[in-house]
Amino acid sequence: MGADDKLSGVTTPDAPFLHAARREPTPYTPVWLMRQAGRYLPEYRALRERHGFLELCKHPDAAAEVTLQPVERLGVDAAILFADILLLVEPLGVGLEFTKGEGPVIRRPVRTEAQVAGLTPIDVEAAVPFVFEAARRVRAALGGRVPLIGFAGAPFTVASYVVEGGPSRDYLHTKRLMYEAPEAWSRLMAILVDATARYLNGQLAAGAQAVQLFDSWVGVLGPEDYRAFVLPHMRELFRALAPGAPVIHFGTGTAALLPLMRAAGGDVIGLDWRVDLDAGWAAAGHDRAVQGNLDPAVLLARPAYIRQRVKDVLDRAGGRPGHIFNLGHGVLQQTPVEHVQALVELVHEMSAR
Task: Determine the Cα–Cα distance for residues 273 and 314; give it in Å rounded to an integer.
Answer: 13
User: Which band of pLDDT confidence, cut at 50, 70 and 90, is reported for residue 5?
Assistant: very low
Per the structure, the count of domains in the chain is 1
Q: What is the pLDDT of residue 2?
A: 42
pLDDT above 90: residue 12: no
CB 182 within 8 A of CB 118: no
CB-CB neighbours of 117 under 10 Å: 12
Q: Which of 22, 39, 187, 307 is catalytic?
A: 39
Q: What is the pLDDT of residue 148?
A: 98
Per the annotation, the verdict on 35 as an active-site residue is yes
User: Which band of pLDDT confidence, cut at 50, 70 and 90, is reported for residue 197?
Assistant: very high
Q: Which of 40, 44, 161, 199 is catalytic?
A: 161
Q: What is the pLDDT of residue 99?
A: 75
Phi, psi for 195 (deg, rounded to 5): -65, -40
Q: Which of 5, 22, 28, 48 is catalytic?
A: 48
Per the annotation, the verdict on 199 as an active-site residue is no
Q: Of the candidates 150, 175, 147, which has an alpha carbon nearest to the alpha carbon of residue 160? A: 175
Per the annotation, the verdict on 39 as an active-site residue is yes
DSSP per-residue codes, 215-284: ETTGGGS-HHHHHHHTHHHHHHHHHHSPTTS-EEEEESS-GGGHHHHHHH--SEEE--TTS-HHHHHHHH
Phi, psi for 270 (deg, rounded to 5): -80, 135
DSSP state of 103: E
Residue 62 belongs to what H/E stretch? helix 60-74
Q: Exposed/middle/buried for 331, CB within 10 Å: 0-12, 13-18, 19+? A: buried
CB 135 within 8 A of CB 81: yes
User: Which band of pLDDT confidence, cut at 50, 70 and 90, is reported for residue 103?
Assistant: confident
Q: What is the CATH number of the domain that holds 153?
A: 3.20.20.210
- Average of pLDDT values for 10-38? 90
pLDDT above 80: residue 135: yes
CA dihedral 348, 349, 351, 352 (to 10 degrees): 100
Per the annotation, the verdict on 84 as an active-site residue is yes
Per the annotation, the verdict on 179 as an active-site residue is no
Task: State which residues form the domain around 241.
Answer: 3-351
Q: Which of 40, 44, 77, 84 is catalytic?
A: 84
Q: What is the pLDDT of residue 10?
A: 39
